[in-house]
């Protein structure tokens, strides 16, 4: 994959940098955000997109970060608008089917289940509808909005569901306990303006790809982590801004982890439990064989679900 491909096509993520870029540019952007957190907590401004495969790739790290530093950080989820539409045709990708093999490749690299056949069977026209839906969920309940985001990501990456379609967004909203009538009203009205605000702020902050996370302290000091990085990068960014941040201990047994996160991939379970990756899959398979967990399998890996 040449660099032009990566820079001109947001859906073709650069495996080396872990970025899905929307526009070409030097990722060593040192400009400061004008966002102050106004609190002792370190604020994380996380630019993402529901169909960003590299963002799915950092779910294990983010989930661990919340367990260890949840009391020391506040995460502000912002939508970046990865795929406005299919009006471009350059850099080796001009139609949805071009993305299929790339997603399969990314799945192996991040060791997270992603089935690229979505782009052959029921491709999305745009990532804007699920992004707006997330803003509608946020308007109603920020915590349920995060559950909603996870739900639609599992739908698109594992279940090959076109999450630009209202029918799937509605199912996800209902599953996580959102008021679906209010959700639909907000989706069709005010959520669009909130999404536009996210895009505007993203332009001001120089966001060119996803995931991008700005770490900001109460005085405006900033660290930025671009792309999918090992856990230590995110931890170091927090500790650089707040050396006094205390890492929380958490229970690493499977019941406790699935109580916190009802669905886990083998990579996530390995990251959170400290169990070696191969052993993690064995443990999870034994639990599903014993009927304690359900297992959903794709051609590129599995996810285990709390019963």
Each residue's pLDDT tens digit, 130-146: 999 999 999 999 999 99
Q: Where are the domains of the chain?
A: 3-210, 254-306
At residue 206, what are phi and psi to the nearest 5 degrees? 80, 25
Residue 204 tokens read as 């001001």
Q: Helix or strand or coil: residue 121?
A: helix
Each residue's pLDDT tens digit, 14-65: 777 777 776 544 444 444 455 554 457 999 999 999 999 999 999 999 999 9
Residue 209 tokens read as 């790809």
- pLDDT tens, per residue, the chain with 307 residues: 333 333 456 677 777 777 777 654 444 444 445 555 445 799 999 999 999 999 999 999 999 999 999 999 999 999 999 999 887 555 566 788 889 999 999 999 999 999 999 999 999 999 999 999 999 999 999 999 999 999 999 999 999 999 999 999 999 999 999 999 999 999 999 999 999 999 999 999 999 999 999 999 999 999 999 999 999 999 999 999 999 999 999 999 999 999 999 999 999 999 999 999 999 999 999 999 999 999 999 999 999 999 9
Superfamily the domain 3-210 falls into = Glutaredoxin (3.40.30.10)
Task: Give residue 7's pLDDT.
Answer: 44
Domain 254-306 is found in CATH 1.10.10.10:
yes
Residue 201 neighbours by CB under 8 Å, 6+ apart: 78
DSSP-derived letter for residue 83 is -
In the numeric block, the tokens 């540019």 are attached to: 25
Q: Helix or strand or coil: residue 109?
A: helix
Task: Give residue 91's pLDDT.
Answer: 55
**Rounded to an integer, what distance in angstroms lies between the CA atom of residue 219 and that of residue 39?**
9
Between strands 212-216 and 222-226, the pairing is antiparallel
Specify burial of residue 257 (Cβ count, 10 A radius: 0-12, 13-18, 19+).
buried
Task: Give residue 6's pLDDT.
Answer: 38
pTM equals 0.90
């Amino acid at each position: 994959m040449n660099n032009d491909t990566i820079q001109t096509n947001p859906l073709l993520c650069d495996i080396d940098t872990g970025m899905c870029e929307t526009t070409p540019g030097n990722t060593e952007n040192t400009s400061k955000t004008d966002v102050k957190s106004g609190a002792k907590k370190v604020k994380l401004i996380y630019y993402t997109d529901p169909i960003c495969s590299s963002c799915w790739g950092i779910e294990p790290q983010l989930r661990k970060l919340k367990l260890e530093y949840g009391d020391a950080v506040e995460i502000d989820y912002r939508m970046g608008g990865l795929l406005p539409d299919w009006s471009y045709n350059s850099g080796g990708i001009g139609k949805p089917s071009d993305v299929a093999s790339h997603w399969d490749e990314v799945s192996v690299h991040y060791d997270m289940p992603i089935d690229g056949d979505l782009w052959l069977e029921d491709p999305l026209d745009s990532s804007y509808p699920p992004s707006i839906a997330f803003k509608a969920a946020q308007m109603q309940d920020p915590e349920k909005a995060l559950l909603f985001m996870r739900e639609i990501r599992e739908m698109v990456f594992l279940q090959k569901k076109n999450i630009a379609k209202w029918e799937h967004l509605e199912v996800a909203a209902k599953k996580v306990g959102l008021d679906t009538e209010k959700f639909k009203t907000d989706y069709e009205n005010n959520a669009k303006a909130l999404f536009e605000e996210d895009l505007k702020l993203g332009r001001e902050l120089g966001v060119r790809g996803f995931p991008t996370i700005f770490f900001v302290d109460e005085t405006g000091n900033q660290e930025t982590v671009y792309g999918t990085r090992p856990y230590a990068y995110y931890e170091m960014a927090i500790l650089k801004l707040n050396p006094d941040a205390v890492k929380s201990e958490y229970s690493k047994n499977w019941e406790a982890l699935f109580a916190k996160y009802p669905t886990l991939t083998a990579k996530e379970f390995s990251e959170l439990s400290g169990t070696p990756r191969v052993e993690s899959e064995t443990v999870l398979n034994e639990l599903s064989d014993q009927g304690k967990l359900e297992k959903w399998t794709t051609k590129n890996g599995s996810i285990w679900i709390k019963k």
